Amino acid sequence: MALLLAVVFFLASCQTKPKNDHHDIGQVKVDDKLKALIAPSNEQVVAKAVVVEASYETKIFTAEVQGIVNYDSRSETSVASRVGGRLEKLYIKYNYQPVKKGQLLFEIYAPDLAAAQQELIYLSQSAGDQGLLAQAKQRLLLLGMSNQTIQQVLQSKKVNYRIPVYSPADGYILEKTLANNNASAVIAPSGDSSGDGMSGMSGGGSGATVSAAPAPQIDNSPVMLREGQYVNAGQSIFTIYKADQLLAEFALKPSLGTLVKKGSKLAFYKTADKEDSFQTSTIGLIQPMIKAGENFTIARVYLSKGMFKAGEILTAKIPVLVPQSYWLPESAVVSIGAQSMAFKKENNVFVSVKLKTGLRMNGMVQVKEDIANLDFAKNAAYLVDSESFIRAKSN
């Protein structure tokens, strides 16, 4: 009997034994106080570092930008063919060749001009109506012949198959296709895309610099037109720029372009000759531009006669007032491609965050969002792992 009771108690104890939960195998519960220690190093950092708060103030600085002297397109004169025909002789050898008013540019053969001359000779030799003769002369004038050439035809009684075309103005001549390219060729500012701005500033007005890509040079390249080439009626062949009508164009980054207005004062000089070419003027035109996927602003200044030549590189200093905004030390912001990042202090750890930045000047970075009462690591570069790419969330 005792043996039977022992067996019953043994079976009962086996049935009430708790079952193992296989789902708990391999799981480790982490104390909330230790979570900061196991987070990835490219998201947050546990460190003792000096922290800074953003300042909120207005700044005045002088931006330094590069530019180029170019021809004023408002004074250009177009040379077009009034008839379709073949270029028999070309007297323009290279672009930006100086020409005088009345100078021979090219000679053209046109069937319409030859037929109109034959009609003029016939009417001049017959005793017909003088009104028809006057209309024949007017037709040749409308087709591009000069009075002098018409009188030569009447005297010689021979058709002139090579009609000369003369320059209508003084200046520098270039092919129309190149003129169109130069109209769209502007200096594109370069620099740190993450900051979208400048690499220097003065709190009281001395030099900040904004680097600009080399401006397009005006070269005396050979013309692409060739003798024997056909042109259409009304086709514009050459453009003549007046030598005394020049302007200066300066490229501004978008963040700076919003602060510069038409009529703003600036000082500029030849980059190669600062002492003898220093001038002050006002901006006559502000023009937004998009080139190669990059947007920027062109500030245009109309120049006086005599001192500058087309193609010269200029340096300008523009005083700019920046309205109240937040500013962080440049050392507190890390640039990664087109993004700007900083390490914000949260619960005794530094968390990486993205920032919307603007101008960079005098060791300070403009922040275009509210970061009041936030602490940031003063030297963000010290918290970056050299083998990690920082991951951050928006602030």
Q: What is the pLDDT of residues 332-391, one digit of tens each?
A: 888 877 788 888 888 778 888 889 888 887 788 889 899 888 888 888 877 776 545 555
Q: What does the buried/exposed string (b/e) look like for 118-141 if buried means 16 or more CB atoms within 10 Å of the residue's CB? A: ebbbebbeeeeeeeebeebbeebe
Just give the CATH number of 40-59+325-394. 2.40.420.20
Percent of the chain surpassing pLDDT 90: 5
User: Tell me, what's the pLDDT at 185?
Assistant: 52
62-75+176-189+204-228+242-320 topology per CATH: Elongation Factor Tu (Ef-tu); domain 3 (2.40.30)
Domain with CATH 2.40.420.20 in the chain: 40-59+325-394
User: Tell me, what's the pLDDT at 27?
Assistant: 60
User: Tell me, what's the pLDDT at 208?
Assistant: 40
User: Tell me, what's the pLDDT at 126?
Assistant: 81
- The 10s digit of each residue's pLDDT in 72-109 is 888 788 888 888 899 999 999 988 888 998 899 999 99
- Packing angle, helices 111-125 and 147-156, rounded to 10: 60
- Residue 53 scores a pLDDT above 80: yes
Looking at every residue in the chain, the average pLDDT score rounds to 77
d(CA 84, CA 234): 8
Of 138 and 184, which is predicted with more confidence?
138
Domain with CATH 2.40.30.170 in the chain: 62-75+176-189+204-228+242-320
Of 190 and 317, which is predicted with more confidence?
317
Mean pLDDT of 132-141: 87
Q: How far is CA 267 from CA 65, 66, 128, 182, 210, in A?
A: 11, 12, 70, 25, 15
User: Tell me, what's the pLDDT at 40?
Assistant: 61
- The 10s digit of each residue's pLDDT in 239-259 is 888 877 888 999 888 878 888
* SS3 assignment, position 114: helix
